[in-house]
Structure 1
Amino acid sequence: MGHPDENIYPTATGRAAETVEQHQEPQDLVFWAGWFCPFVQRVWIVLEEKNIPYQYKEVNPYKKEQHFLDINPKGLVPAIEYKGRALYESLVICEFLEDAYPSRAPHLLPQDPFDRAYVRLWVDHVSKSIIPAFHRVLQAQEPEKQKQFLEEYYVTLRAVADKVKGPYFLGEHFSLVDVVVAPWVIRDYILKEHRGYTREGVSPKWKDYVEQLINRESVRKTQSDLEHYEPIYARYLRDEAQSEVAKATRSGRGLP
C-alpha cells in the first residue's frame, strides 16, 4: 500500500482499534500490520474468520523496527512470524493460514480440488484486473482518462458480479474470493466521492454482493473509521503517492 503522510492517524480506529486491543498478548503467530493497508486487511479478515490466536503489531512506516526489516526486507506489510519463522505477501499468508490451521473453520479454500482452483482463478482476477483498475481510476488526472478508466473498472467488477451465487461468491460459503475483494469495496467511497463511481453503476447484483461483504463481522472488526482512510488516498488522487503500487500504476507496470 505504501507510506501514509505524517499527518495521518498513526493507529487503527473504531472497530479495528477494539480488535487490536484484544490481540496484544504474545502468541505463536505475530501479525505485523498497517491498519490502513487493504493488503493487510485481507490477512486480518482471515485471522478473525478462523479465530486464530495472534499478536497484532503496528508497523510505523517512518520508523520501521530492525526486527521487522529482518522479517521482510521489502519493508512492506503484511508480514507474519509463525513460531519464529517469517512470511510475507498477503495471498501467500492467507493460504498459509488455511494450511497451518486446518481444524479452524470456516475453510476459505474449498476441499474439492476443482473448486479450490476455481477460487484461485478469481483471486487472480482480483489481483491482476480489479486492483490495477481501481488504481488507474484513483490516480488518473484528466477527466477523459478518469471516465475511461472508470468504465474499465466497472467491467472488471461485473466479471465477478456475474459469477456471484449469493450471498457470497460461492453461495452461502464465505471464501478467499470474498476476503480479497472486501478491503477494496470498503474503500470504494473514495472513488464515489472523487471519480463518479457508484456500486449501482456496476450492476444491482454487485451492489447486493457488496452489502453482504461490508456487513460481514470479520470485515467490520478489521475496519477503521472511514474518515481516517481519506488522507492516505488524497496522495493517490493527486497522483503524488510514492508507494510501490502507485509507481507501478503510473508506469503502466503490473502491481508488485
Structure 2
Amino acid sequence: MGVPDADIHPTATGQAADTVAQHQSPQELVFWSGWFCPFNQRAWITLEERGIPYQYKEVNPYKKEKHFLDINPKGLVPAFEYKGKALYESLILCEFLEDAYPDHKPSLLSSDPFTRAHARIWIDFVTKSIIPAWQRLLMAQGVEKQDAAREELYTAQRKFAEQVKGPYFSGEEFTLVDVAVAPWITREYILAEHRGYKSADVSNEWKKYAETLATRPSVLKTNSDKDKLQPIYDRYLRDEAQSEAAKAIRAGRGLP
C-alpha cells in the first residue's frame, strides 16, 4: 500500500519555497513544476542559472489542473508553457532555453560543435547508466540485490568521474552535464541512509565533484526540506512506488 496522498507535501519548502515566492508574477514562460521530482529540478536549476524570467506553478500530482492536462496530455512535470504552447521532457526543456533565450548568460552548452556533442554524450550516459542504476539501488529488496545494484551505480559513477575536469564536468564552467546529474547527487543521502551507499567508495574524484555540485547556489535554491521528501522515497525504498520511472525499472525498460 502506498503513502496516502495527504502525506505528500503539496508545495516546495525550505530554500525552494523562497525561490517559488520570487516567481509568481505572470511571464511569457510558465514553469509547471513538481517540487519533489529530480527531473523537474533539472529545468529549475537551468532557469535559475541563466536568470530567465518565469512564472512558477506547482502541479499537484494527484489533482492536476484541467488547463495543465489540456496543454500537456502526458501530465508529467516539468513542463513549460511558452507563449501559450506546451513543451516537456527535462533535457529538451533545458536545451530549449538555450535557443529561446540566447541573450541570457551564461550559456550551459558550448557553441563549439565538438564540445557540444561531447557534452551530449555524457548527458546521455547520465540518463542511460547513472540514473537507472541509482533507481535500481533505491528500489532493490534484499541484501544480494542491493549489493549488486550498488556496485552497478559505483561503476557508472566512477566512469563518469574519470571524465570530470574539475571542479565541474567541463572545468571551471558549470554546464548542462552538471545539471543533468545534480538532482540525484542532492538525493544521495537517501541511498547513504538506507542502501549502504558511500560516495567515497566510488572514488575521491566523484566525492569531490558531488560535494561541489551539492553546494552550487542554483542547486541549493531549488532544494526542498529533506523531511518532506522522505515520505515519497519511502515508497521507492519499499518498492511500492507507482511512478512511470518505478514501473520502467521493474519492467527492465529504459526510463520514460
Which of the five TM-score ranges fits, normalised by the shorter chain? over 0.9
Q: Deviations over 1:58-91 (max 9, x none)?
A: 0011111111001211111000011111101101
Give the CA deviation at 1:4.
Answer: 8.1
Aligned to 1:223: 223
The verdict on how the C-alpha distance between 1:4 and 1:248 changes in structure 2, with shifts beyond 3 A counting, is farther
Question: For the residues of structure 2 that align with 1:17 and 1:247, how far apart are their CA atoms?
Answer: 30
Residue 70 of structure 2 corresponds to which residue in structure 1? 70
Contact 1:4 1:61 in 2 (8 A): no
Partner of 1:193: 193
TM alignment of 1:1-256, pairs within 5 A: 5-256=5-256
Change beyond 3 A, Cα 1:142–1:130: same
* Residue segments in structure 2 that go unaligned for 5+ positions in a row: none
Q: Provide, for residues 88-139 of structure 1, a one-character-per-residue CA deviation record: whole Å limited to 9, x for no partner.
A: 1101100000111111111111111000000000000011111100111011
Distance in 1 (alpha carbons) for counterparts of 2:244 and 2:5: 15
Q: Distance in 2 between matches of 1:173 and 1:81?
A: 29
Aligned residues: CA RMSD: 1.1
For residues 177-217 of structure 1, the C-alpha deviation after alignment (integer angstroms, 9 at most, x for no partner) is: 00011100001111000100011011111111011101111
In 1, Cα distance between equivalents of 2:90 and 2:102: 18
- The secondary structure found in structure 2 opposite 1:86 is strand
Deviations 1:201-237 (A, max 9, x none): 1111111101110111110100011221111100000
Structure 2 length normalisation: TM-score?
0.97
Distance 1:70 1:221 in 2: 30
TM-aligned CA deviation for residue 9 of structure 1: 1.3
Deviation (angstroms), 1:5? 3.9
The one-letter amino acid paired with 1:163 is: Q
**Whole-angstrom CA distance in 2 between matches of 1:171 and 1:121:** 16
Contact 1:5 1:232 in 2 (8 A): no
* Cα separation, 1, equivalents of 2:161 and 2:5: 34
Q: Provide the identity percentage.
A: 68
- Structure 1 residues 5 and 125: alpha-carbon distance in aligned structure 2, compared to 1, 3 A threshold: farther
* In 1: Cα distance, 2:185 partner to 2:217 partner: 15
Count of aligned pairs between the two proteins? 254
Amino acid at match of 2:207: K
